[in-house]
Amino acid sequence: MKNLNALDPQGGIGRNGGIGRNGGIGRNGGIGRSSDALPLTAGGDPEFSACLVAIRGYLTLGLDSPGAPPEYELGQAPWRDMGERYRAESLLAEALSGLRVEVDAQAQVVSLRYLQALAAEQNNAQQTSQAKAGKSAPASTAWEWADLISLRRPPRKYFEAQANLVDELLPLRETRLLEVHAQADSALAFLLTAAQLPVHRMPRTLEFLGSALALQMSLQMRIKQQLACARPQLISPRLMPMIDVPSHGSLPSGHAGESALIAALLSHLLASAGAGADIQLMLRRMALRIAENRVVAGVHFPVDSLAGRLLGETVADYLLAGVKAIEAPIAVRRFGAAPWGAPQQGIPNEAGPAHQSPECSEDGYLRIAPLQDHSKLWSLVMQEWQS
């Protein structure tokens, strides 16, 4: 799948691409650049390596001092000692460590759940209950899985009604042809352009966005697999898509979710840097446009975009809370918790965040524990925005 592509020209999360220059989550790559070596370092070329073999004796003649490698406590090695490609893999593992996706088949709901530490009073109550039951009360912190976001699968009739909304957008195909194809491969470039950033001077910002996209992609693919919602052309063949149809479920929309995630993260950074509301509005509009173009292309329903946007905004809050850019607990979000309304209610709009849609809601709050490595990266991101 070619979603938001990479942070460099030849990347992309999918078959041949990745977060980085030539790598990828997929068949042929890894998360990050294909090499951490500079293009012309001697060790990266066979002929140069042969030269190193030949001149080693001369370079090391008379040298017998022992090496003095640094020694670190476990978990205390300098974070930037690890190459960017490998940091990306480590960051993804950290972000996923407290998350899991669960299915309630009877309720037609898929939930993204977070492993949270119980509040002190809850922990004490649990230990007291265990003691009364004759069980040894643990001295450590108690944990429980709690919903971060839940998504209920719309019924077939809802999708059939939304097919008419897709049909109404088909006349836009001629005028948006170039947009649709360009954003299929590199939608991230459109968002970065809308934000009007000097991205060539912001490598750590790009790295953080890349790690966020990797997390979003992993979560949305798992949720897509479990919800298993059909693509528009399977509901209504007359909608014949104008581009290749991805080989996975329709809801939530990946382009919508990833665009919403990037827009939310950049909007937070822009606001912290004192940028005006106009730039942030342009970002939201660009994210909505990217999502709508997938509907115009015939590969998504509008409600797919709404669900994707809700997931993207949730993941953004999760990451921002994990790096303490948000101090307060974050909202638990629901998609489809109430009875389904008219199909028009499932159309995203720019008036407010996704949870304000009639098909979405907020339901309580969660406090997110620190993400240690993400926090280290975030501190470097903030240095770029303060310079």
Strand partners, 109: 104, 152
Quote the pTM value. Answer: 0.84
CA distance 99 to 261: 17
pLDDT digits (tens, 9 = 90+) for 74-132: 877 777 788 888 999 999 999 999 999 999 989 899 999 999 988 654 545 555 555 55
Residue 11 confidence (pLDDT) above 80:
no
Distances (CA, A) of 24 to 33, 96, 226: 9, 18, 23
By the 10 Å C-beta count (0-12 exposed, 13-18 middle, 19+ buried), 119 is classed as: exposed
pLDDT digits (tens, 9 = 90+) for 123-164: 455 555 555 556 655 556 788 999 999 999 999 999 999 999
Domain ranges of the chain: 148-386
Contacts of 211 (CB under 8 A, 6+ apart): 19, 88, 91, 92, 95, 374, 377
Residue 248 confidence (pLDDT) above 60:
yes
In the chain, what is the greatest distance between 2 CA atoms, to the nearest angstrom?
Answer: 83
Domain 148-386 fold is Vanadium-containing Chloroperoxidase; domain 1 (1.20.144)
Average pLDDT on 6-17 reads 44
pLDDT digits (tens, 9 = 90+) for 171-225: 999 999 999 999 998 889 999 999 998 988 999 999 999 999 999 999 999 999 9
